[in-house]
Amino acid sequence: MRVLKWIVQRVHGGASAVESPIGWMPRFEDMDWTGIENFTKEYFAKVMTIAREPWKQELLSHEWLFAKLYDKLPKEFYFMRELLLSALWRSPEHWALKPEHE
């Protein structure tokens, strides 16, 4: 529910995001942490880290599925998959949220 709340707030211009190799991600400050006082900024940064190789392997493993569903999938799915792979190829081995400068 917290992520859905962030998505709705973002759509309405009430929340920010950071661009990552796999898309837009929330900042710690943009999430509602009510009821989870022990979820620290440091832990959030750790779970939001993206390891490039497992993501690439996951996307590459979908090749058979895309081939099987070739005539049933919208062509945009293929383009989005290629864009995502391209972003991952260009990303560092471990991408992480950087602390904002105050």
Residue 62 falls within a domain, yes or no? yes
For residue 40, give the DSSP letter.
-
**Count of domains for the chain:** 1
Domain of residue 84 covers: 2-95
Instruction: Dump strand ranges (E) for the chain.
Output: 18-20, 23-25, 50-51, 94-95
Query: pTM of the full predicted structure?
Result: 0.78
pLDDT in tens, 19-62: 999 999 999 999 999 999 889 999 999 999 999 999 999 999 99
Residue 100 falls within a domain, yes or no? no
Residue 86 falls within a domain, yes or no? yes
